[in-house]
Every structure is written in C-alpha cells, then in structure tokens.
Structure 1
Amino acid sequence: MSKTTELPPGANLAALRKERGLTQGRLARLASVSVSLLSKIEVGDRALTPAVAAALGKPMGLSMAEVLGKASVARNEEGRLSALRSAVRDYDLPGHQEVQEDALRASLEAAGQHRDAAEVDRLLAMLPVLLRDATTHAHTANTVESWMALSEVYSSVYWLAARHRWMDMAELAVTRQRWAVEQKTNPLGMAIAARDRAGAYLNGGDFEGGLMVVDRAISQAQTNLSGQERAFAVGLLNLRGMTLAGRFKDKKEGKKETERHIKSAWEAAEWFDRDWNRHSMIFKI
C-alpha cells in the first residue's frame, strides 16, 4: 500500500502497523506510548497528534507526515490553499497596493479570533490576502510593529498548516516567522517564533532538539525582556518545553525536564492575575 493515503489518521496508522506485522502492544512499546492510547487513536476515539505520530513512525521507519497520511482538501478550498502557498513563496516581494494599517490590524484580530475558535475554514479563506497585505506593510513601514504583525500572520499559517498536516508549509512558515522578527530587533517576537519553531521539532519527533530551542530562547528572553513581557515569553516557552520533555524516550530524564519547566512556568504565572493574550498567543493562568 502507499505510505501516504487519504484514510483518517488513526486508520492510516493501523494499516501501516499491520502492513509491518506489528501488534499494537509491540508498536506501543517501541514508541513508548500506552497500548490504550494507541488503540483509541486507531479507532478514532483519540486524535493522532503530530508528536505522537512522529514517535510511532520512528520504529516503523516512517516520517510523521507518512503516519498522519494525506489530508484531503475540499474542492472549494484548493484555490485558497494554492493562493496561500504562493503568498508564502513571495515573502520578499511586497505588492504595490496601499495597505491601511487600521484595516490590517482589524484583519489580524479577526484571524486571531478564528484561530482561538479553531475556525480553520474561515482562517484559510482570509490568510492569503492577509499575508500579502502584511508583507507589503512590513516592507513599506519597516517598523518593529509591522514586522511583528507579519510574524503573527506566519504564526497563524504555521498553526493552520500543522493542523491540516501540510507539514512542508508548517516548516516553511516557522522559518519565515523567524525571518520576519529578525528584520527589526524584537525580543518578544523572537521568543514567540522560537515557541513555534520548537513546535515544528515536536511535530517532527525531535523532542530533544526542540527542547534545546526552547531552553536557548528562555535564556534570551530572560536577558532581553523584563516584567510581564519576560514572564509571558518564558511562560509560553516553558509550556512548550513541558510538552517536548513529556515525549522523551528516557522517561526518567523526561520527568526531570518536565518538572523543571512546570516549576518555571508557575514562577512566570506569578506575574499575572488573569490570562494574557498577545500576538495570537495565550498564557493561561
């Protein structure tokens, strides 16, 4: 059978496992996941996350994308996806149209609301134009705020691509995101970009590498930020670090790293008396 199918992720995983003559118990042990979780994923009772897909793929010699399978796109969305890919490619080619900053900010807010509500169809519908507008505005205004706005759009592109299992676009989006915040010094933007980059490592099954990205970003945030912005950045990064450490094959080391990041996240939370939402990121208290 083809390694990449349009079966639901759980069914695709089950087919790949059986093709290799592996029982659920054997694959679960090799991937360091519970048999109960694997069983629920295969019948569709639990979602197959990219991180778990990467862990299950390793002993089968498969990539995370191959385990997840191909996500079909509705016919009316094919044009939107093509337009979004084109906008991502044109990252350094601003348009000639005038972009109203107020309208751009309103669109960014709407995109954040669609993302928070997991309204993926609505987000896909607006991202191609929003990305082109943000690209044009950033090149024209050339301010910290304009490049941060562009980075925020790329963060939403990453979120959407990872959710749809368009992993090539997800990888490219985090690269573009980091490029955008590097155009003008922006320590908070760098921390958020590092969080998403570590997510790409998580999706790819490189949990140790992702944690290195997180720890380096935490150190930079602690040096270059202060007050609630520093706590916000460090808190977000520690939450990502907890997730990465929880997937370590070495459970003893994973527990130690998880507890370290939990402790640091609680320390960051002491700066807040409510959830903080910045640039489509929420640090929940």
Structure 2
Amino acid sequence: MSQTKLARLMKISLSYLSKIETGLRPATPPLVAAAASALRVTTARIYGDPFADPSTQHELMNDLRAVVRRHTLPREDVPPPDELAASLKRAAQLRAETDYLSLLKLLPTLLGQATATAMASGGDATAWGQVADVYSCAYAVAHRFRQPDLADMIVARQTWAAQQTWNPSAEAAAAWNEAGTYQSAGEYADGLAIVERAIVRYESAPGDGLEHVVHLGSLHLRGVVLASRHEDAKATADHVRRAKALAERIKGPDLLQHNLTFGPGNTALYELAAQIELNAPDKAAEVAGPLLKEPPAGLKPSRVGRLAIDAARARLATKDLTGAEDALKYAFRVAPQMAEIHPMAREVLRVLWTMHQRSRPDLLLMAKRAGLAD
C-alpha cells in the first residue's frame, strides 16, 4: 500500500504520516488503530514486539497459554489454604508493582491451583472469584506484552469463572477486561457497548457498599478512556461525571479490590488522560504537575507510572521536551517494566530520541532499556 493511500485511509495528511514514520510525531492510540484497520493487521503488529529477550518471554507466555487452554483440566493439586492465599496476595502485589515478568512466572501454577481449589469447593463463590482474580492478573500480563489472542482467551476464561456462581462483582471485573480487549484493538465503539451493558447489569445487582462503588466506578473509568479515544466528548463527560459522583463516596485513599483501583485519585488520572485524547494537552499538562509532585494516596506503582506516562504525552504535545523527558524518567523509576513496554511511553521516547539523538545520556539509557537503541 502506498503512503498516500495509507494516509488517506487514516484520515491524516501525507506529511503527518511521514513525521510519524520518521519519529518526529508520536503515533497516538486512535492513529495506530486507524493504521491497523487500513493495513488489516492488529494494533499489536503496528506497535511491534516489546520483548527485550524474546526467547525467554515467549517461553513463559507459552506456559501461560497452555494453562489457559486447558482451563477445566488443572494439573495442579489443591494447595493448603494458607499457601494459596499467600500466592494470590503475591500475584496482586506483582501486578500492582508492574513486575510483569515475575507475575508471568507465577501465574501458570497459581492458575492451576486456584482452579483445582474451586472445582473441589462445591460451588463456593469465593473460590471461583479467586480464579477470576487470577485470570485478571493474567490479562494484565497478556495486555502489557501485546498478546491480543491470548488476552481474548483469558477474558473468556475469566467470564467463565465469574459465572460459575452468582458473583456480580466478578462479572463486572471480567467485563472491564473484555472492554479492554476492544480498547487495545482500537474498536472503541464496541468497547463502549460492552461497558454500558455491564453498567446496566451491575446497577441492577443487589448491594450498595464499597465493593459496589469500586466495580461500578471502574467501569465508568473504562468508559472514559473508550469514549475519549472515540472522540465522543459528551460520553466522556458523562462517564467522568458519574465516576466522580461514585468517588465522592470513598473517604480516604483510593481502594484496590479484585485488581481494580478506584477513588478520587484514579478518577483524576483518567480525566487527565481523556484531556490528551480530546486534544487538550495543555490542560492535561497543567493538572499533571501537582499530581506528579504528590500522587494521590492509595495509588500503586501501576497507576502512578501511568500518570507519569500521560504527563510525558501531554508535555510532548505542548512542546515541553525537557518536561516530557523528566516525566518519562519518573515512570522508569516507579514502574520500570511498564515504562519499558507501554506503547505510549515508547512512542514519547521514540520521538524524544529521534529529536535529541545521543545528546542526552538519560534518553539513551531509557531507549536502550526499551529496546529502541543499541
């Protein structure tokens, strides 16, 4: 396909496409989605392989893939309850700390153990909820390492686990990840449909405590991302408004439940990211400064790292190159593995690296860690 035709299908100028290809402009998620649609490939194909050591990571991913495939045939025995509880806690911690490689090593055995426990439980909702939680951790790994086929299969398994018993919260968490697969593929309208359906279902379920607030609020935050990337300002504002109303019910730090973080702090981060997607990076950059100096209480490295990445995006868009570099260094410090493989961090880094080349040692170091420089 010619560059002229690709640019036309992406609805951008040929000059802008050339700047993206030469590293003078970042490829935003909607533009990557447009390119993938035009070329009839996945967004993961456009972004490329994030593995620093492909052979090792692919072997680990294949181990996880095998366990997910045989989801009803766990080969592990039922572990002692204390051992399982400790492993579940460890998995959630590794996910929150963005230590994806350690999590990837843990997941195959843990997934088998959790499934074996649930199958022997006689239909215990807590046991099956734990299986769904492990699948949520597995989704985070597949998503971050850009394995869309595996992520889709994991979401199906997570939904399967959530539906083994009456567990509306587990189903809502599965829907959050399901919408995430559409987000990753650039199919924002379909992702919004998933979110809206899940919200309606969850609002009709009994319960009005903090668990309800966290799951419902998280669905609205997913809606914020999808609507803003779909360039639907009205839907974005509606999801932000409803998320803020729910966040007001949380007194104190943001809460982390079933791998979902929700509260005033995370809501502010999603609103900041939406401003970037809706072409208001100046507002996002203004908000990002105070948040980076004092991140909201209760946010784990996974969220603080994403804050720094979005701050870098906003600063790059406002031509604050030094500020963008500083924000990236912040992300590499608090969430190193996320910063190395997150597509938006890599896009900002690619542009900064192209513009400055080897004149800035810190950029060179980050580029090497991300596999963008030798």
**Structure 1 length as normaliser, TM-score?**
0.81
Please show how residues 1-285 of structure 1 align to structure 2 within 5 Å: 20-22=2-4, 26=7, 30=11, 43=23, 53-72=32-51, 73-95=53-75, 97-141=77-121, 142-224=123-205, 225-248=207-230, 251=231, 254-273=232-251, 274-285=253-264
Shift of 1:265: 0.2
Q: Is contact 1:20–1:60 with CA below 8 Å preserved after alignment?
A: no
The residue type equivalent to 1:247 in the other structure is: R
Q: Is contact 1:27–1:56 with CA below 8 Å preserved after alignment?
A: no
The residue type equivalent to 1:193 in the other structure is: A
Q: Is contact 2:9–2:38 with CA below 8 Å preserved after alignment?
A: no
Change (3 A) 1:85 1:48: farther
Counterpart CA distance in 1 for 2:27 and 2:108 is 28
Shift of 1:108: 1.3
SS at match of 1:282: strand
Percent identity over the alignment?
31
Shift of 1:79: 3.3
1:252-271 CA distance string (max 9 Å, x none): xx001000100100111011
Shift of 1:114: 1.0
Please tell me the root mean square deviation across aligned C-alpha atoms, in Å: 2.7
Give the match for residue 322 of structure 2. Answer: none
SS at match of 1:43: coil
Q: Is contact 2:10–2:31 with CA below 8 Å preserved after alignment?
A: no
Give unpaired runs (5+ residues) of structure 2.
265-374
The residue type equivalent to 1:107 in the other structure is: S
The residue type equivalent to 2:224 in the other structure is: M
Q: Please identify, of 64-73 and 209-218, the stretch whose mean Cα deviation from structure 2 is larger.
A: 64-73
Counterpart CA distance in 2 for 1:101 and 1:120 is 25
Change (3 A) 1:183 1:77: same
Shift of 1:133: 0.8
Change (3 A) 1:108 1:63: same
SS at match of 2:229: coil
Counterpart CA distance in 2 for 1:98 and 1:22 is 59
Off by >4 Å, runs of 4+ in structure 1: 38-42, 44-49
Counterpart CA distance in 1 for 2:85 and 2:194 is 30
Counterpart CA distance in 2 for 1:96 and 1:52 is 44
Shift of 1:95: 3.3
Shift of 1:28: 9.6
Shift of 1:174: 0.5
Counterpart CA distance in 1 for 2:42 and 2:76 is 41
Q: Is contact 1:235–1:265 with CA below 8 Å preserved after alignment?
A: yes
The residue type equivalent to 1:234 in the other structure is: L
Counterpart CA distance in 1 for 2:257 and 2:214 is 9
Q: Is contact 1:31–1:58 with CA below 8 Å preserved after alignment?
A: no
1:33-70 CA distance string (max 9 Å, x none): xx59x957963986865x65323322343332321234
Q: Is contact 1:27–1:59 with CA below 8 Å preserved after alignment?
A: no
SS at match of 2:204: helix
The residue type equivalent to 1:128 in the other structure is: P
Give the match for residue 10 of structure 1. Answer: none
